Chain A
Amino acid sequence: MDSLLDAGSIPAASTGIFLRFMKHNIKTSTIFISILFLFQILNALSIDFRSFDHEGFTRIVFAADQSFAFSVRNLPGQLQVRLPKRADFRAQSITVENSRLLERVTHEFKDDNSIFTVFFKGDVTVNKNFVLEKPFRVVFDLVKSEKISVLPQSSPEKTTNPQETPPAPQAAEPAASKSKPIETICIDAGHGGEDLGALGKSKLQEKNVTLQISQKLKKLIESKTGLRVIMTRDQDSEVSLNSRASIANNQQAQMFVSIHVNSSFRKSAYGSETYFVSLQATDPEALELARKENQNPEDPGETIKNDELKMILWNMAQTEYIRESSTLAEYIQSELNELLGTRNRGVKQAPFRVLMRTAMPAVLVETSFISNSAEEKKLQNEEFLDKIAFALFNGISKFIYYYNNIVK
């Protein structure tokens, strides 16, 4: 039919009309272009770059006040981050002062892409890459190439981390040390005994689901890695929150994973989320310190140096492990999202009582919502629980690999 345009001719026709219009209506066109230009300026993406040397690795961060799409290229001696749009940066080239691994960062706009290139000193490898929200940040953890031994496996069947079961620890010794590889993991099955936890519409009890998942996870870790696993409860018994942390500390666990099932007043809420602790301070100044510690751990300018002050303010063992806990949460949440295919509610922070007193990287995982009818049904399915345990195992394995490389 003559009246129908094929798809390819539509842009050409539109462009022709537009150009003819521009030619004959200069005044209106100028206004139109100015508006577009103003829109571009107000909507411009401004990128900030930060770097900081941690013990065993260097963290670099690209931050912006809005999210952005990006792609990454690993090249010999450099890392390229490409954004498919124009972005502002403070200079074309910045020399990174006093960095162990970084030389300089450059920025150019080419073929409609903003290209940030980080130049390394010697052989450097990206050990980890993740995204944080509020504000939006793309984070890379870099290590010297020789630090990488075996890449982490995404499938637990392929994970090779055989280690001999360590001798039983002495209860009086101090808790987890950052200076040795992970040997002991504490799994905390939420609730138990008279504390039923949340209830589903069909009377499914949270305490039973958490115990089932925990037992499956224990089996997976022990059989696949040979690491020592301790449980805060292995039957339907009530254990106080303080006792759970105490069990992990006294058994010298180096990782604490608390397993829960979520519930909301909003019946439509669903999905999984992973928490690490947030610090509740007792006055605005302390809150400001806490916020800085929590939000920008990678920024040297905001690092709190006075450890004694921190302990007076919060008196919490977990304060020392916030960064590791954040990383563990990222790994676990990423695996849950991938394997469960449910809504990703993300990594979050809250002042969990059970996490505060643990002296090791510690997270609390809310696997799904028992208050949501569809998810309650899934939680009664053995295969779904297997998937959850499998995802948790994957996340834990990746964290072990990351952690053990740091403490080498």
Chain B
Amino acid sequence: MTAKARNYLLISIAVFFFAALLVVVCSRKKAERPEPEILSKTAEDGASAEFIKVKLFYYSELSNFLQPVYREIQVPEIREELYKKFIDLLLAGSSGLIIPVPDGVQLRSVYYLQKMEMLVLDFNDNLINAFPGGTAAELEFIYFIVDNICYNFKEIKKVKILSGGNENKTLAGHIDLEKPFFPDFNWIKSE
């Protein structure tokens, strides 16, 4: 091996170590929550409108963490409508990824309690009636909803979940649903 070749070899090793170092440092970072990107675009009616870029997170069979997907939402005049649009978009899903929500579940209404920094989501009765059971499934549903909302809308600090307009004790016999949930971003930590 010539001196030049050895030089290249060792520089390559150094670059590899640098890359490994970057991977180690980056892997320690928890999910950061950037400000949502605001875009000015043309709406369906041809007029100029404001859109925000949101990051939706879904489960997959291949990972223990929620995987990101980017979407854009036209910003309506009423704030609560934006939240409703966001949840509807979330429930629509993304190809190849898992939505931890029973079939037939729809959002009935949304209430934003500004002083409490809390979003109240009222789903239809299917949430309870069609829930498959299991602690893991309950936690998957709860943090899918709560983390997605709190990640994208920083003004919301906690989320309360209703079904059919009522408070429920649990979804399927495990997690206490009477209190609101704070996000746990460990579910969306990048792997």
Contact = CB atoms under 8 A, between A and B. Distances in A.
Contacts of B134: 197-198, 206, 261-264, 369-371
A265 B21 contact: no
A190 interface: yes
A302 to B, nearest CB: 19
Contacts of A264: 134, 136-137, 140
Given A282-B180, A354-B174, 6 more contacts: A190-B173, A198-B172, A241-B169, A268-B61, A353-B174, A371-B137
Nearest to A31: B14
A25 interface: yes
Contact of A353 (B59, B133, B175, B182): B175
B98 A266 contact: yes
Interface in A191-228: 191, 195-199, 206
A36 B169 contact: no
Interface stretch (B4-12, B34-42, B45-53): B4-12
Interface stretch (A38-46, A53-61, A81-89): A38-46
Contacts of B175: 350-353
A17 B157 CA distance: 59
Given A32-B13, A197-B173, A38 B21 contact: yes
Interface of B: 1, 3, 6-7, 10-11, 13-14, 17-18, 20-21, 24-25, 28, 59-61, 98-100, 132-137, 139-141, 157, 169-170, 172-176, 179-182, 186
A288 to B, nearest CB: 11
A35 B14 contact: yes
Nearest to B11: A28
A247 B144 CA distance: 34
A17 B13 CA distance: 14
Contacts of A260: 135, 174
B7 A28 contact: yes
B133 A206 contact: yes
Given A264-B140, A266-B140, A352-B175, A32 B14 contact: yes
A199 B176 contact: no
A253 to B, nearest CB: 20
Interface of A: 17, 21, 24-25, 28-29, 31-32, 35-36, 38-39, 42-43, 65-66, 134, 190-191, 195-199, 206, 241, 260-269, 275, 280, 282, 284, 287, 350-354, 356, 364, 366, 369-371
30 contacts: A21-B3, A21-B6, A21-B7, A28-B11, A29-B10, A35-B18, A39-B21, A42-B24, A66-B28, A190-B173, A197-B134, A198-B133, A199-B132, A199-B133, A206-B133, A241-B170, A262-B135, A263-B132, A263-B133, A264-B137, A265-B141, A280-B176, A280-B181, A282-B180, A350-B174, A352-B175, A353-B175, A353-B176, A364-B135, A370-B134
Contacts of A366: 135-136
A196 B134 CA distance: 11
Main secondary structure of the interface of A (DSSP, over half): mixed
A263 B136 contact: yes
A195 B99 CA distance: 24
A356 B178 CA distance: 12
A155 B103 CA distance: 46
A213 to B, nearest CB: 16
